[in-house]
A and B are shown apart, each in its own frame.
Chain A
């Protein structure tokens, strides 16, 4: 079945460091891919998405490219800030179940000043 695997955290970085959070997926067909962010005690916010191979989603300095050949959708940011501290979830839309999302387990990011 469809699944998402993302790197385990927690990830701790200093402010202005480069961030990569790895995400790989297993899916039939051509699902859309998403990154969501969750701040402490809150719901999930859509960070970025890509709907087809080679698409690059970007938002707030974060980027991820839909790589079909490596079944990956790694999240990157060139210079993180303390305010980026949150849990990041990679997800794919499950075309077999009407577009429901399948999530990775989340990666907690802590950015130190």
Chain B
């Protein structure tokens, strides 16, 4: 089945550690996105990529990094520089700029 797969679903991290969230899509979409969701809040854009080997910062990129070495993959690293990383992270993709964006099931990150 076509879709967007995020892993892991739940992740616990100790303070000071980096952690990488995986996002894979088999929809042949060019554009991929990472959003962060905090309780009772809307979604905020972290990073996005419109094409392989290129990506741009979103509204809250500080403390995060991404790579886009393959069309189907867009991993997000939450670094120790991110001051408040506990949140629900959503990966998304679209066939192109301005087209409908589709979401994965999300990953819960908790810092302990």
Contact = CB atoms under 8 A, between A and B. Distances in A.
A93 B33 CA distance: 13
Nearest to B102: A46
B74 interface: no
Interface in A78-113: 89, 93, 95, 98-101, 103-106
Interface string B85-112: 0000010101011111111111000000
A101 B96 CA distance: 13
B45 A100 contact: yes
A101 B101 contact: yes
A43 interface: yes
A71 interface: no
Contacts of B25: none
B10 to A, nearest CB: 10
A69 interface: no
Contacts of A98: 31, 48, 50, 56, 97-98
Nearest to B48: A100
A105 to B, nearest CB: 4
Interface in B26-71: 31, 33, 40-43, 45, 48, 50, 56, 58
B98 A89 contact: no
A100 to B, nearest CB: 6
Interface string A25-51: 000000010101000011111100100
B98 A93 contact: yes
Interface string A3-37: 01000000000000000000000000000101010
Given A43-B103, A43-B104, A32 B41 contact: no
Interface of A: 4, 32, 34, 36, 41-46, 49, 89, 93, 95, 98-101, 103-106
Interface of B: 6, 31, 33, 40-43, 45, 48, 50, 56, 58, 90, 92, 94, 96-106
List 3 A-B pairs, minimum CB-CB distance, nearest first.
A99-B98, A103-B42, A43-B103
